[in-house]
């Protein structure tokens, strides 16, 4: 199971804590970057030692700041928040009062209170919607899992992503006739097929590693001879990101340091 599947398959509680436990005492996996902590192993951090789950909590705090900040920084197509609502949530998470938040936003306290009220109403709607989808899944579990997982960094989520897992497998077999780790027969022109192929190729990159442009090209050459076009698509469709000077590339999803 890839990281996006784990992320979207996590419960609300698991998203809040930022990690999931693996079956059969396999340890814990960070939902942000995929870092793994093994049960039974003790992890040293500075002058302290941590068991697996405590270490995973420390990992999220040190590398990702907090799950609140990570989730809040996700694209608004996932959070459903306006920029103002995001700022209000951020202010209240930091313990600011209505007056302090109003000053920060350059608005009135009554406006801030309205936004806070509206967010509470959105919370109620979300609870009802999650309950409805949970009840639907109980009656039709197969249908609830039939669609291809969408990567969290998709530039735009629309009908192109309405691809079932069965369709995905057929597309991959068509375009990778020599095996899934081999080269493509050709690059698809239809958008749905393009998404499927690009998502598969993105899986050949290590999300915890930084790449030079040459290293990216080397990976892409194994998939298609026109690696320059392929690289552009990987950026445009939200699979890879890079520095402005193209000196460093990485799997999109986690902010990179300037080191």
Closest by CA to 86, choosing from 72, 99, 100, is: 72
> Could you tell me where in the chain the CATH 1.10.10 domains are found?
75-141, 159-251
The continuous run of DSSP H or E covering 48 comes out as strand 48-50
Beta strand spans in 72-140 (E): none
Tokens of 30: 């960070």
Cα 211 from Cα 217, distance rounded (Å)? 10
The answer to whether the beta carbons of residues 207 and 251 sit under 8 Å apart is: yes
CATH topology of domain 75-141: Arc Repressor Mutant, subunit A (1.10.10)
In the prediction, which pLDDT does 141 show? 58
Say if residue 245's pLDDT is above 70.
Answer: yes
CATH topology of domain 159-251: Arc Repressor Mutant, subunit A (1.10.10)
Tokens of 211: 């790449």
What is the crossing angle of helices 98-105 and 109-139, to 10°? 100
127-179 confidence digits (pLDDT tens)? 999 999 888 877 765 554 577 777 777 767 778 788 888 899 999 999 999 99
Tokens of 71: 């989730």
Say if residue 259's pLDDT is above 70.
Answer: no
């Amino acid at each position: 199971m890839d990281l996006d599947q784990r992320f979207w398959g996590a419960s609300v509680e698991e998203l809040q804590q930022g990690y999931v436990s693996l079956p059969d005492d396999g340890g814990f996996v960070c939902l942000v970057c995929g870092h793994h902590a093994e049960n039974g192993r003790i992890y040293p951090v500075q002058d302290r030692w941590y068991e697996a789950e405590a270490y995973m909590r420390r990992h999220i705090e040190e590398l990702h700041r907090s799950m609140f900040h990570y989730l809040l920084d996700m694209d608004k197509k996932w959070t459903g928040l306006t920029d103002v609502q995001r700022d209000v949530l951020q202010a209240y998470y930091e313990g600011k009062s209505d007056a302090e938040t109003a000053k920060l936003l350059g608005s009135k306290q009554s406006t801030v209170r309205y936004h806070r009220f509206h967010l509470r109403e959105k919370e109620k709607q979300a609870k009802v919607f999650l309950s409805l989808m949970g009840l639907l899944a109980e009656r039709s579990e197969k249908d609830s899992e039939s669609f291809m997982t969408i990567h969290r960094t998709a530039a735009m989520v629309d009908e192109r992503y309405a691809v079932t897992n069965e369709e995905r497998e057929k597309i991959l077999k068509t375009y990778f006739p020599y095996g899934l780790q081999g080269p493509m027969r050709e690059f698809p022109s239809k958008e749905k097929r393009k998404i499927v192929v690009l998502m598969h190729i993105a899986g050949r990159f290590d999300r915890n590693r930084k790449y030079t442009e040459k290293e990216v090209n080397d990976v892409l050459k194994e998939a298609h001879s026109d690696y320059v076009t392929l690289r552009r698509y990987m950026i445009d469709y939200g699979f890879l990101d890079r520095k402005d000077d193209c000196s460093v590339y990485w799997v999109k999803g986690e902010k990179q340091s300037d080191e």
